Structure 1
Amino acid sequence: MSARAIIIGAPRSGSGKTSVTIGLLRALRRRGIAVAGAKSGPDYIDPGFHKAATGRDGVNLDSWAMPPGLLGALAAEAANDADAVVIESAMGLFDGIPAEPGRSGAAADLARLYGLPVLLVLDVSGQSQTAAAIAKGFATYDPQVRIAGVVLNRLGSERHRKLAGDAIEALGIPVVGAVMRDPTLTLPERHLGLVQAGEHADIDTHIERLADVMERSLDIDRVLGLMMPLEPQGGDFSAALPPPGQRIALADDQAFSFLYPHVARHWRKAGAEIVPFSPLADEGPNQSCDVCWLPGGYPELHAGRLAAAGNFRAGLREFAENRPVHGECGGFMVLGEGLVDADGERHQMLGLLSHATSFARRKMNLGYRRAKLTADSALGPAGSQVRGHEFHYAQMIEPRTDEPLVEIADGQGNPLGLSGGRRGLVSGTFFHAIARTST
């Protein structure tokens, strides 16, 4: 039997979607409901909070990066493993890129495709009846996207709740929650978004508090009543990234944690074994593995420790002599010659690729990427194509002398040139691969 689902949307980032989602997930779990979280678009951090709240792996549902078959297969998998699925929108509900219908990357694509209702979180700080105009705009903007209810967030008083809530309900849109302003509910952030769930000293206590607030502030029964069945049709995993080896040494700690849940899950389903190791604990890859993968994360916050991790450095260099090593974003930076931290101090990295990167002169690089591999690597054979996403603030400060790994374009197909690096069996890219594609 398929789960029932709802999308948590908002006009913009910072509206409180994540706090509402996490609190609602834990509140539903308290009721004994098998609930799972999902995130629209390319986000590593929020699925970690969803897992912490539910005890179940989260999933990304990305309508641009994932071909329809893979998107449907992942949505069906989530629905089959739970009684309820709460899908958190990235950015604003309709925010995506210009693309063919249903492939923009916006959460609204999922609402149209699967006929799912949207629970709209409105940050009403600094306004009252104007919130009704915003709600009406969302309700009428796209007839195929149904705003089923509203949660008022960051209210200042009961009078504030009544002014905003009555104006919205006069439009025929139910207000199913009202959350008072409380700065302690806000999760800490850094340059790539929220601080990761695993870095909080007592994340479960914070989630329990969010659940307490949502139980007081939301009509949970009404929210459950708004949910609709999630019943994707015709999904398949043919576009999933295949495991790069039979035994995969995977860097996994606070410096290397950005691996999409669906990627690791598919590797295991395909029969691969993932053998984690912690560079921050000065561990090298298990030498019995046949490939090493360095995900993205926050190496810039731990550059000194990585530079001093002698066992990690020696073990990975030995591994790379006769087995493939691939790094994405932060992993790619650590494969280079050096990394300059935000204070301007340069730290020696692995030196397996020629580039060096700097956070002292930050510049945001953000967007979807189409990539065609120019050579064989752990990411795939030459000529294969993948879709992914890039989000970092590092700049190259020394030109690479390695062979490029990919030809890349932005999400709309505008060429961005050659990118990444390859030397021997070592390869890396700034973008994170999400799925294979033929275009």
Structure 2
Amino acid sequence: MNGVVLAGTASGVGKTVATLAVLRALDEAGYDPQPAKAGPDYIDPSHHEAVTGKDSRSLDPWLAGEDGVRRTYWRGEGDVCVVEGMMGLYDGSEVSTARVAAALDLPVVLVVDASAGMQSVGATALGFRRYADEVGVDVDVVGVLAQRAHGGRHAEGIREALPDGLDYFGRVPPTDDLEIPDRHLGLEMGGESALSDDAVDAAADDVRAERLAAVAREPPAAAPVEAEPTGRTVAVADDAAFCFTYPTTVARLRERGTVEPFSPLAGDPLPDADAVYLPGGYPELHAADLAASPTLDAVAERAADGLPVYGECGGLMALSESLTTTDGTTHGMAGVLPAAVEMRERYQALDHVELTATRETAVAAEGDRRRGHEFHYSSATVDGDARFAFDVVRGEGIDGDHDGLTEYRTVGTYCHAHGASGAFDGLLTGTAHR
């Protein structure tokens, strides 16, 4: 499967809308597009899925390593993979879009906000191409997709301003119909506020799909990884409160065991399973319903009996004793972990994370290293006798020094892990692992 990266000059230039336009244009031109996302992200991929009907896969060498990135890439299916970048092409403290493109040896098409420029678009693209040599990253910037660009003289002026070696891949017009609402963790999810089909069609009209497909190329093959079946079942929460799940994680669980989805919001019975995974999401938007949910009561009962339960971010919040929303209302949660969680007006952590396991748990052996990412607006106040599973090497964790609050065989962490890293294998084997 050939691929191409759509990278921005900065955050906010309209990469997600440009990606949706390219996906639609490729589809209308007779190709089978596969979406993907550089870096850690659950929200932008949900918009990709709304347009294509396919899982969009996150590609991050920090989370999964280069082999993990390639394995994740090759889980997709189609003619052309369109990888949406994160932030600006070269931005990122540990991982950038440029490094993802280099790891996969994919060409880069630069998404440039052309609303107030023509010749400057060419100068910007040339600078981004040459900057790769300055920072020693093997990045192949092949051209420009003009965002918020008018047709006629404006589009033609941009095209003529591009230096030799930089191609023009079309434009996305400026229109209010292409604005996606946002909230505290970013854009609203694709299942909530997807762009209309008419708006995506209009955005795709002037994208040069055939030219994009022609420059796309195939990444290196991925090293195989063992996927020995375990016969175990993992119950995975899946609803509007627990919606931050990487497709690769679910695929890895299914390769080695059985996945039973359930909805705490709907009050579903907790499946008969060997372990429970509560991913991140928006429990703060559904706190009253979660407080009344018999499903959380069932999780608490099974956790006390020794069932392995792993909660990430939103899962940590739901496993805690209480959750206080920004209006000051406090809601009782599962009460498995000795913490009171409170939502804040400003984000409390945003970065890649590295942890070291200080004790054996259901998800890590003592000494294991875990890489992930954190992005949350809540803070947790823990009891004085609280026990932690991880020391923080990089990041904030729960208290700045520790993460992985643990009780019984339950672990709750602010760190989001990726399935390609092996972080979930302990849930499948029933024992800690290295």
- Calculate the TM-score normalised by the size of structure 1: 0.88
Q: Secondary structure at the match of 2:86?
A: coil
Contact 2:59/2:72 (CA < 8 Å) preserved in 1? yes
For 2:143, the aligned partner's letter is G
Distance 1:112 1:318 in 2: 48
| Alpha-carbon spacing, 1:293–1:234, altered in 2? closer, same or farther (3 Å) | closer
Distance 2:176 2:108 in 1: 25
* Equivalent residue in structure 2 for 1:275, among 213, 236, 260: 260
* Equivalent residue in structure 2 for 1:146, among 140, 145, 148: 140
Deviations 1:37-84 (A, max 9, x none): 111111112222222322322211112222222222222333xx3221
Distance 2:230 2:410 in 1: 13
Contact 2:347/2:375 (CA < 8 Å) preserved in 1? no
Distance 1:164 1:70 in 2: 38
1:191 matched to 2:184: yes
Distance 1:237 1:88 in 2: 26
Deviation at 1:281, TM superposition (A): 0.9
Distance 1:136 1:342 in 2: 46
Distance 2:383 2:153 in 1: 60
Contact 2:24/2:204 (CA < 8 Å) preserved in 1? no
Deviation at 1:343, TM superposition (A): 1.2
Superposed counterparts of 1:77-156, under 5 Å: 77-78=75-76, 81-97=77-93, 104-143=94-133, 144-155=138-149
Distance 1:164 1:84 in 2: 26
For 1:262, the aligned partner's letter is T
Q: Secondary structure at the match of 1:175?
A: strand
Q: Secondary structure at the match of 1:89?
A: strand
Contact 2:38/2:86 (CA < 8 Å) preserved in 1? yes
Which position in structure 1 is the counterpart of 2:295?
A: 312
Which position in structure 2 is the counterpart of 1:224?
A: 213
Contact 2:59/2:73 (CA < 8 Å) preserved in 1? yes
For 1:313, the aligned partner's letter is L
In structure 1, runs of 5+ residues without a counterpart are 98-103
Identity %: 35
- Calculate the TM-score normalised by the size of structure 2: 0.88
* Equivalent residue in structure 2 for 1:9, among 7, 10, 20: 7
Deviation at 1:13, TM superposition (A): 1.8
For 2:280, the aligned partner's letter is G
Deviation at 1:164, TM superposition (A): 3.6
Distance 1:210 1:42 in 2: 27
* Equivalent residue in structure 1 for 2:280, among 285, 296, 300: 296
For 2:198, the aligned partner's letter is R
Deviations 1:197-246 (A, max 9, x none): 1224xx4xx3523441243121111111221223x2352336x9x99981
For 2:63, the aligned partner's letter is A
Which position in structure 1 is the counterpart of 2:324?
A: 340
Which position in structure 2 is the counterpart of 1:427?
A: 411
For 1:295, the aligned partner's letter is P
Superposed counterparts of 1:242-261, under 5 Å: 246-261=232-247
Which position in structure 2 is the counterpart of 1:285?
A: 270
Distance 1:156 1:26 in 2: 19
Distance 1:244 1:361 in 2: 43
Distance 1:340 1:127 in 2: 47
| Alpha-carbon spacing, 1:404–1:411, altered in 2? closer, same or farther (3 Å) | closer
Q: Secondary structure at the match of 1:372?
A: strand
Distance 1:292 1:171 in 2: 55
Contact 2:25/2:205 (CA < 8 Å) preserved in 1? no
Which position in structure 2 is the counterpart of 1:71?
A: 69
Q: Secondary structure at the match of 2:387?
A: coil
Distance 1:314 1:411 in 2: 31
For 1:253, the aligned partner's letter is D
* Equivalent residue in structure 1 for 2:333, among 333, 349, 352: 349
Distance 1:245 1:92 in 2: 43
For 2:188, the aligned partner's letter is V
For 1:258, the aligned partner's letter is F
For 2:67, the aligned partner's letter is G
Which position in structure 1 is the counterpart of 2:426?
A: none
* Equivalent residue in structure 2 for 1:409, among 393, 409, 422: 393
| Alpha-carbon spacing, 1:28–1:387, altered in 2? closer, same or farther (3 Å) | same
Q: Secondary structure at the match of 2:225?
A: coil
Kindly tell me the number of residue pairs found equivalent between the two proteins: 416
Distance 1:410 1:355 in 2: 22
Deviation at 1:133, TM superposition (A): 2.2
For 2:96, the aligned partner's letter is A
Distance 1:425 1:229 in 2: 43
Which position in structure 2 is the counterpart of 1:160?
A: 154
| Alpha-carbon spacing, 1:194–1:363, altered in 2? closer, same or farther (3 Å) | closer
1:373 matched to 2:357: yes
Structure 1 vs Structure 2 CA RMSD: 2.6
Contact 1:22/1:207 (CA < 8 Å) preserved in 2? no
Deviation at 1:156, TM superposition (A): 5.1
Q: Secondary structure at the match of 1:281?
A: coil
For 1:178, the aligned partner's letter is R
Deviation at 1:278, TM superposition (A): 0.9
In structure 2, runs of 5+ residues without a counterpart are 424-432
Superposed counterparts of 1:169-184, under 5 Å: 169-184=162-177
Which position in structure 2 is the counterpart of 1:213?
A: 202
